[in-house]
Amino acid sequence: MSQNPPLDGLRVIEIGSIYAGPYCCQLLGDMGAEVIKIERPGLPDPLRSWAHTDERGVSYHWSVVSRNKHCVTLDVKTVEGRELFLELVAQADVLVENFRPGTMEKWQLGPSDLEKINPRLIYARVSGYGQTGPYAARPGFGLIGEAMSGLRSITGEPGRPPIRAGVSIADAVAGMFTAYGVLACLHELKSSGKGQVVDTALYESLYALMKDFTAMWEADGIVKPPVGTRIPRVVPTGIYTTAEESYVVIGGGTTAVFARLATAMGRPELSQRFPTPALRADNEEEIEAAIEAWVATQTAEAVLNVLEEAGVPASKVYGPQDILADPQYQARDMLLPVEWPGKGVLHFPGVVPKLSRTPGRVTSTLPEMGESNKYVFSELLNRTADELVTYGEKGII
């Protein structure tokens, strides 16, 4: 039998909405943290009905980001609501919020306020531009972070306008960095005994992935263009159309792998003519044209079988039906089954990464608003059933 997940016993308060903060808490919850998500009475997190929904208006996205969470309703702007919140903070290890900077301070719930209640609290904040600097007070969404980080400028086809990534990448990456910061602070807490603030900006989270983007311009005046379907000067790393008009990706950027690819294609002379990365980069179009011609005569299955035999990294570009049928996904428990009202069993992404001894897990999905009010306010904060009724009548919970 496996042991408890690694963050078992860690209590996290989530107060925020949409994606970056809630995604951070999803990651912590996946690894066993107890996450208490706060929503204002009558004002659900917009993520509950975000993007594609079922006939009831429930977002499929919500199932993933809300899993493993205790959802409560609480208006922290009221006197009694603030008192309940502070009592909960006193019992918590981590707080995660993603309001515009200054909002929590306006409610007298900023880091300096909560430090008096719980000096060991890790206070994690996600915002468009961070808590400091000339842009701190500006509103910011993920698409603004994509633009300001430079990511949009290199995403798309050369000569065409920048395009959006297919997922909310700024919020997701910021959520990951925030979880990373929380874990770093929890480790440091062991020696100092003091909590601290984790301050994550959406644009910084993506700029951290841009590596040499600004240095190339400073050093050599090079502005990276949109990269399209290839990695610049790493050849070949393209997407190719098969005979049945599906797509495969082939990664042959190293010298050894390129030689295996050329042989598998029946074109060993290519690796003899272009034995170095620089020569392949300088002759990219000739190499890419040869691969395109070879792939175009075969099915995806045939191409992938040949390349697997040759030891060349390759994959079909998957759609949802490919993922659901893939034995690798199944073998690693990456297809999480969720019983969906009116739809049967649907599958969502499982827990990442896999831990050998204390793996993460998903114990609940699709929490209703206020579903855990009794647990949090009665069991944790010792309020009676009558008090909860009164709070409800006043709009506090």
Catalytic residue ranges: 171
Q: Which residue has the tokens 């983007």?
A: 213
Read off the DSSP letter of residue 232: T
Q: Please give the backbone phi and psi of residue 250, each rounded to the nearest 5 degrees, phi first.
A: -125, 130
Question: CA–CA separation, 45 vs 71, rounded Å?
Answer: 10
Q: Between 169-192 and 20-30, two packed helices, what is the crossing angle to 10 degrees? A: 60
Q: Strand 34-39 relative to strand 11-15: parallel, antiparallel, unpaired?
A: parallel
Question: CA–CA separation, 143 vs 138, rounded Å?
Answer: 14
3-state secondary structure of 249: strand
Burial of 57 (0-12, 13-18, 19+ CB in 10 A): exposed
Mark 43-54 as b/e (b = at least 16 C-beta within 10 Å): ebbebbebeeee
- State both tokens at 208: 């951290």
What are the CA-CA distances from residue 126 to residues 6, 15, 19, 89, 269 (Å)? 24, 11, 10, 18, 53
396's CB contacts (< 8 A; 6+ apart) are: 41, 74, 75, 78, 80, 81, 84
- What is the helix (H) or strand (E) element at residue 13, kind and residue range? strand 11-15
